Amino acid sequence: MWLNNSTRLAAATSALLLLSLAPSLAQSSAASQVSGLKLAGDKPIQIESDKLEVRQAENVAIFTGNVTVVQGPTLMKAGKMMVYYIKDANAAAKGTEAAGAAMTGSANIDHLEISDKVYIKSDQQVATGDQGSFDMKSQVLVLSGKKVVLSQNDNVLVGCKLTVQMKSGLAQVDPCVGQRVQMSITPPPKSDASKSGATNP
């Protein structure tokens, strides 16, 4: 089944809530705590894409072409997103009914895969990579590529793989082959009060 022309779905794919990515880049270790990464189901999700294909036999919905996902302050863009689901035993309808059930909550999301220039923005935090995946059961997010970049204002962390344990909030960045993880931290500017205090004891 194909749906064209900027498909809009208020889908209950709670896996997409992983997009509230807010990494804390103020630590010097490649493994740090991601305090802002939370799963919250109280905000609607809007998905737009040029095409949507639902393969009922494979239990997968495929969004392609300028995929945009918005949930609260979080924005994700990619060229392709695949949502793999487990059909509800009580929703064994056929045809369009089954296809609709896959995207409206009568199906359980197993995992999703995103690819083709992944861009994730939440408030002041931005993450980019070539592809990513999220496993609903283990609650693990993986973003990888030739260059994975996490940035918050002027703070930048660069590697080739980002792994986030959603339950604990622990994030780990792995370097590219033969390279090291790179981090650039810009200290916040001193306030006028601290400056005056330093010059006037």
What pLDDT tens digit does each residue of the chain (201 aa) get? 444 444 433 332 333 433 443 333 333 335 544 444 443 445 677 889 999 999 988 999 999 999 998 877 878 899 999 989 887 656 545 444 444 544 444 347 788 899 999 998 877 788 899 999 988 788 788 999 999 998 888 888 899 998 878 777 677 889 999 999 998 988 877 765 555 555 555
How many CA atoms within 13 Å lie on the side-chain side of 36?
16
Distance CA 69, CA 116 (A): 14
pTM for this entry: 0.68
Residues 6+ apart with CB under 8 A from 170: 31, 32, 33, 34, 164
Task: Compute, in degrees rounded to 10, the torsion defined by CA atoms 191, 194, 198, 201.
Answer: 150
Structure confidence at residue 88 (pLDDT): 65
> Going along the chain, which residue ranges are E strands?
2-9, 31-33, 45-55, 60-71, 74-87, 107-122, 125-135, 140-152, 155-165, 170-174, 182-184
Under 8 Å between Cβ of 66 and 50:
yes
Domains of the chain: 2-199 (2.60.450.10)
Structure confidence at residue 174 (pLDDT): 93
Structure confidence at residue 66 (pLDDT): 95
